[in-house]
Amino acid sequence: MDRFENPYRPGAGSAPPALVGRDDLIGDFEITMRRALDRRPGKSCVLLGLRGVGKTVLLNRFSRIAEQQGVKVGFIEASEGRGFPELLAVRLRRILLDLEQGAARRALSAVRRALSVLASFTHTFADGSSVAVSLEPLAGQADSGVFSEDLTDLLVAVGEAADTCESGLLLAIDELQYLTDEELAAVVGATHRSVQLDLPVVVAGAGLPQVPALLGNARTYAERLFQFPEIGRLDEDDAAAAIVLPAVDLGVEIEEAAVRRIIEESGSYPYFLQEWSYHAWNAAPASPITDDDARSAKASVVDKLDRDFFRVRYDRLTPKESEYLRAMAELGPGPHRSGDIAEVLGVQVTSVAPRRSALIAKGMIYSPSHGDTAFTVPLFDEFIKRAAH
């Protein structure tokens, strides 16, 4: 098969050639954005799921939908060690400057006021950094040094500016679990105020399954402001469609046995489906792609996933953290009771609690229920067993 024509796209946040099984979520978001533009904002959305289920792909789709509706989008990928306030300020600066370029005279004052509020906001950065804004700070707005209050001032000002320009604002935040408690509380509080004022502002987030608990700890009313749809593996029909449709569009057939094998090996997780389909295509000499082709692709798929998906996460761990995950892997896919993991390690539960907390903070594991622990990366137990040999 021609590798250049290969339609599959394994990669972090890469949109698959056939985005299946997510139509309801996409439709719901489109309505949410339209209602916000009509000054009837409702619940914003936080997508939850393990690594590789397509949260970032959906967040990007939401962003395109918003842009098609004339909404300004600020997309932020949170990460460990990167300052969220600075990233936010950079995105909102670009949005406001864009609004300023096309603003009618009556809207220009609202945009410039928002730029002045942004100037005030940047002066409160703890590390002394700033974002270039040509206007003077607006005294008494976003300059208190209390992040939750200042972010509320800023988001309201930007929302008002977008509204006067007959636009709206989508703030899309990926990897929400990396925000600090203070930052999460500020995002929730600012969102709450924008809803109270009926501003055309929507926040769409994505993160690991522990995010609702983090948001709830930050602000008790978070569950009333956000919907938390869980994004998981595809059902068998949608998984088959994700495999077959891109090939059919290019006049290539895939035997049913090959489809079943790819679904079984990938666990129906969207990222793994793309990886398996990509390598099965490359392994096939011609159409149709057979079960033998899919089987022969296994070595290259496992090698690719180990190097580019699993290993990059595993190598971030301390020796003690790796030991904890190996104990989990010995017990299987999970979830597992904390006491069972400690028993495998031959220690008391309390002695490994700091390790568990550190692994949760790094996004490697989460607690689906009290006392339980599970991997945030699908099939990670199988990788650890391979890595141990």
Q: Kindly indicate the confidence band of residue 128, based on its pLDDT and cuts at 50, 70 and 90.
A: low
Give which of 214, 197, 218, 212 is closest to 155, Cα–Cα: 197
The residues that bridge with 365 in the sheet, in sequence order, are: 375
What distance in Å separates the CA atoms of residue 330 and residue 177, rounded to the nearest whole number? 27
What distance in Å separates the CA atoms of residue 28 and residue 133, rounded to the nearest whole number? 36
Query: Which pLDDT score, from 0 to 100, does residue 126 have?
Result: 60
Q: Kindly indicate the confidence band of residue 289, based on its pLDDT and cuts at 50, 70 and 90.
A: very high
pLDDT tens for each residue of 237-274: 999 999 999 999 999 999 999 999 999 999 999 999 99
Lowest-pLDDT range of 12-21, 146-155, 273-282: 12-21
What distance in Å separates the CA atoms of residue 385 and residue 70, rounded to the nearest whole number? 49
pLDDT at 94 over 80: yes
Give which of 59, 115, 88, 51 is closest to 184, Cα–Cα: 88
pTM over 0.75: yes
DSSP tag of 235: P
Kindly state the helix (H) or strand (E) to which residue 206 belongs, with its residue range.
strand 201-207
C-beta separation of 318 from 310 below 8 A: no
